[in-house]
Each structure stands twice: as C-alpha cells, then as structure tokens.
Amino acid sequence: MGRNTNYAWLAVAALAACIGATGARADVDCTGRGSLRLVNGKIHTMDKDDRVVSTVLIANGRFTDVGQPDDLCTRTVDLQGRAAVPGIIDSHNHIILLGLRPGRDARLENANSIAEALATLAARAKEAQPREWITSIGGFSRNQFFPDPQPTRFPTLQELSKAVPDHPVFIMEGFSGPGAVNAKAKKFLVDNGVPVGTTPGQDEGYVDGGSFGVATPCTTALYLLRKMQTRDSMLQGLTDAMRYAAGIGVTTHLDQGGFPFNVPVIGDPSDGAASFDRYRAHDSVRALYQEGKLTNRIWINFLHVEQDIDTPQLTARLLNSWDHFGNDMLRVLGIGEFTASSFLTPGTPEWQAGTHRVALAQWRNENHSLNFTVPPFTPGKPFDWQVIIDGWDAVNTELIEKDGIPDGITKLRWVLAHVPVITPEYLQKLNNLGGGVNVLGGWRWLSGTTAQNGPPFRDILASGIHVGMSSDGMQISTMSPWINLYYVVTGKNARGQVINGNQTLGRNEAMRLYTANNGWFLNAEDKLGTIEEGKLGDLVVLSADYFDSRAVSNESIKDLRSVLTVVGGKVVYEDLDGRSKDYWKAGMP
C-alpha cells in the first residue's frame, strides 16, 4: 500500500471512530478497501436535471453510484438528513500567496464584530508555538465589524494585548495596510524602526498604510516578518490555508499567482501582501504534493507583470512550461491574471505583444477588470474591460488571417475576471471569442458602496456567456464561498447596506456558479462541478441547509461552513459532531 493510500485511510479511520462515537453508522469490516458511501442526505448533484439524491458512493476517487444502493464493501456515513453539494471550485484566487503569509495566519473574514475578531485571534494563538506571531494579512475590512451607521475602527492595542498577551499580533488590511498590533508586536516593530501609533487621531497600536507598491509602515512590518520565515513555516502556512479552505467547503482552487515587483526575489519594504517570488513561490505546493499532503486541488495560472515589449520572461515561460501539465491534484492551466505590462494598463504595446505570444502558444489566458479607464484614471478613456476584449479580438483576427490558426483563440477559453461593470455588447463580443467571465462578491461585500458595486450578476447570466464564481481571496477579498454567495443573493455589503439589489440571483442559480458552471473554467467540466457517475469524488456536507430559506435565512448564509469535506473520496475535513475547535469558527454561531 502506497503512502498516499495510507494517508487517506488514516483520515477515514479517524472519521469512522468519530462517527461511531456520535451515533452514525460506520462499517468496520472493510478496512483498506477504499470506498466511501454517504447515505440519508439531501445531496444536491447540481447536474443538468438538478437532481437531489439521498445516497452516493465514491470508489477509486470517483462517484460510481449516485442515488442507487450498492453491494460493495464500503464505509458508510449517515448524513442524518444534512444537505450536501459538489466540492466548491474557486476558479480565481490566491491560495498560494495565503500560504506564504508570515506568522500563523488567522482568517478574520467570519468575524462580524470586534469581539468576534478578538476571539478568533485568541483561538488561533492557542494553536501557535511559543513566540510565534499571530497575523491576519488581507481578506478582511474594518467594515465588517460595525453595521451602518456606526463608525469603524481596528481593535485597539489594549484589546489585542488582552486577547493575545503571549504572542505578538499583527493584522493588516488589503495589499499595503493600514493595520494594528498588540504590545508585543509594537515593541518589536518600534525597536526595528517601524513607526507605530504615531498617526494623529489613531490608536497607539495603529500601523499606517498607503499606496500599493510604495513602502509603508505596514509593508515594512511585513518585510521584517518575511525575513523570519523558514521552509517549514511556509509548508505549515499552506497546510493551514488548505485546512481552512476545506473547512468552508472549497475543494479546488485556480491560483492566479502574485506580483513580482522586485524580481527575481522579494526583498524590499515596498512589497505588499500580493508580492511573491515567481521562481520560488510554488516550492511549498510542490513539496506538499510530492509528500502526498495536498488536501485541496490546486491548479495554477502563471501571472506576468513585464514591461519589456519583447516579454523575454513570458516567452521563456511559454517555451519551457506546459499548460495542462500535472494531474487532478496539482496542474498548470494557463497564463493570468495579467499578461505582461503593468497590472492596470492592458492595451500597451508590451501587453499586446505578450497576449499575441500566449495566443500563438495556444495557452489559456486570463485578465482581470476593475472598471478602470486606460490609461488609469484618465477621464474620457475606454475602460479596461473594453480594452482587453477589443485587444483579444484583434489578436484573434491576427491569428486567423496572418498566423494560419483557423480557430484563433475561440477554443482556448480566455477569461475576463471580476467584471464589476460590462455591457451586453462586450459580453457578446467576448462570447463570440469563446471566452467567459468570472465574477466575485466578497470584494464588494467588504468595501463596496452604491457607487462601487456590481458585478451585474443577473445581466451576465442572462446573456448566455459562460459565467462562474470565484473569491479573488485573500488580499482585498474573502475566501469564504458563503460570504460571496451572501452578496450574490442579498446584494448587501458588510455594513448591511443594499448596494447591488437589482442584480441578485436565487440561491440555486448562485450555487451553480460555484459548482457546475465552474468546471468549464478549469477545462474540466467532465471531471468537476457536479455529482455524477464517473466524475471526481468531491463533495461537501453543509452545517445547515443552504437551499432551505426557513432553515437558513439570507442573513445566515455567510455563516455556513462544511461539516464533512471529501476530495477524491478522501475525507479531508470532518466536524459532523460539531466538536471541532477550529480557530476561525470563533466568529460563527
């Protein structure tokens, strides 16, 4: 028996013991036979018929019987009427960057008040080693702690020091701050020349932030913490990130990389939360994969920020890497979320040259849109989504007319991500190019307003283009699919204000964006996204029935989580008895 198989059955054995203690049935006469049966559930397959079945069987990593009894030797888990969905696919996020956070990362996105944030940090500290930093860098906002019209703030130095007295604490919003620290962290930073609590009108633990790509007290603090990282801490960071993902039901990620602003390595106080070393950033995921310790599927896009019109780094990547290389746990998919040029300026000569090279290589390509004008913030200029789609259209024509590629880019599934604003005309133009749009909600939930809202979920879905859901976590957005779905269903931001009410979707439509629809974005609709025979055995059992508005009110959607997560037939997260002490649940009911 191989190492991976041993690892899988250790997890299943642990699950069986736990289930036995809580009254659910676990067959014990089939040890080592490798199949898992879930019974007595409300299992939403999300297939084309929207079937809901009570039983599924997973054998050899795939669904083999859906809604049918079997006579194979299996381990059986009684779901006791719980709802389940296919494994959730996050088709645009930055889980590898999350794994590279210094210190012991604490996700604060589930905290709805200062008290819950402090409880989350305190619970995280109980899991940490002596003298280990407790950090939360990106993926949350002060907005979520205070409903409108209350003023917002960070936890104070006194509050943080009381909640976590024995570890230094550093929390930071967005890419480059601002943030806050406790007393232990303040002493370290001040001793190393970082100003803390010097901003007029702010708390003594306040750490100032500033513009993206410019050194700030927050990014200097981040730089100092990164200098203390080790290989083991990075492996622990990605392991923790995958456990959190599994705990909220995310089983597959399409990672979009990070910004290589100070190539070839990170090493400058201006590097923010989204910066990484493009040559070594994937060491952790490769190491865990080789050790058989990946518990989530992590697929990879290579991000390029390059301002040389010859794009030598992108050219080298296309010549020396293979798209669609790997297996169903770790795979290279394409280029994105930027293709040469700087990240706010599509349409430049280097962007056009890089885009043409990606098209010639017949790779998948992804760019994001934030509804900026190009050049950035120049009144009267076209918006980024117009420039990107028009540029892709020009490249497609060039491939057909000059390069002898009759399909151009129409078979490559190029994707426009985020899409806070887009018109029917440009949706149709992108659809004609064989492309799709990947939308998100957590970004607008954290900091959106009536003037900065979107995406137009309802209009995009009605257009007929391929559309999927993602998080864009974990710098300016949350990873939790339930926060994203809350925003899609209610149109409300973290302050409780309705900012996108005329573009909301029903619960089933919204869930399909995270499951059935998202298989297309990984070129894997034959493997992922629905519970059907022959597909990969990924499934999530929910803490409450998302589809039943009587059981889960709209306001409670964001508090949902997983109680059982299965990836390829392996149990990677389990809390059926509700006894798990995961730190991030401190902010949940």
Final residue of a domain: which of 226, 254, 271? 226
User: Domain containing 397: what range?
Assistant: 301-522
Cβ–Cβ under 8 Å, residues 334 and 301? yes
- Clarify whether residues 156 and 75 are in a common domain: no
Q: Identify whether the C-beta of residue 494 lies closer than 8 Å to the C-beta of residue 446.
A: yes
> Is residue 27 a part of any domain in this protein?
yes
Q: Using omega within 30 degrees of 0 as the cis cutoff, is the peptide bond preceding 264 cis?
A: yes
Residue 237 included in any domain: no
- pLDDT at residue number 71: 52
Rounded CA separation 475/161 (Å): 25
Residue 150 burial class via C-beta count within 10 angstroms: exposed 0-12, middle 13-18, buried 19 and up: exposed
Listed residues 226, 243, 264: the one ending a domain: 226
Do 490 and 573 share a domain, yes or no?
A: no
Give the max Cα distance, the chain. Answer: 71
User: Which residues of the chain, if any, have pLDDT below 70?
Assistant: 1-34, 68-73, 261-267
Q: Between the CA of residue 454 and those of 182, 312, 439, 445, 468, what are the distances in Å?
A: 36, 36, 9, 10, 15
* CA distance linking residue 163 with residue 391, whole number of Å: 52
Distance in angstroms (rounded) separating the CA atoms of residues 285 and 94: 12
Angle between helices 384-401 and 349-360 (to 10 degrees): 50
pLDDT confidence of residue 363? 98
- Asked if residue 194 and residue 316 are part of one domain, the reply reads no
Q: Tell me if 350 is assigned to some domain.
A: yes
- 515 neighbors 485 (Cβ within 8 angstroms): no
Nearest-10 crossing angle of helices 349-360, 312-320 = 10
- What is the amino acid identity at position 550? R
The per-residue DSSP string of 328-373 comes to SSEEEEEEEEEESB-TT-TTSHHHHHHHHHHHHTT-EEEEE----B
Query: Could you give the count of Cα atoms lying within 13 Å of 25 in the half-sphere of its Cβ?
Result: 11
Q: Are residues 33 and 153 in the same domain?
A: no
Task: Verify that 395 and 461 share a domain, yes or no.
Answer: yes
- The answer to whether position 244 is within a domain reads no
Same domain, 126 and 191: yes
In terms of C-beta distances under 8 Å and separation of at least 24 residues, what long-range contacts does 147-153 make, across chains too?
A: 147/495, 147/496, 148/495, 148/496, 148/497, 153/114, 153/203
Nearest in space to 540 (alpha carbons), one of 518, 513, 573, 584: 573
207 with 307, same domain? Answer: no
In a domain, 530, yes or no: no
The enclosing domain of 428 has a CATH number of 3.20.20.140
Secondary structure letter of residue 129 according to DSSP: P
Residue 472, in any domain of the structure: yes
Predicted local confidence at residue 32, as pLDDT: 45
pLDDT, position 344: 78
What tokens appear for 426 in the block?
């440009």
383 and 488 share one domain: yes
CATH number of the domain encompassing residue 60: 2.30.40.10
Which residue is it, tokens 């019987």?
65
Which tokens go with 510? 């919204």
C-alpha angle 407-412-418 in degrees, rounded to nearest 5: 135
122 and 74: one domain?
no
Q: Please indicate, yes or no, if residue 43 is contained in any of the structural domains.
A: yes
DSSP state of 542: E
End residue of a domain, out of 170, 204, 226: 226
Res 23: pLDDT: 33
Strand, helix or coil at 91?
strand
Classify residue 354: in a domain, yes or no.
yes
User: Is the domain of 375 the same as that of 484?
Assistant: yes
User: What single-letter amino acid sits at 235?
Assistant: L
Tokens 């013991």 correspond to what residue?
17
- SS3 state at 539: strand
Q: Check whether residue 554 and residue 405 sit in a common domain.
A: no
Domain count, the chain: 3
CATH code of the domain in which 175 resides: 3.10.310
Same domain, 445 and 496: yes
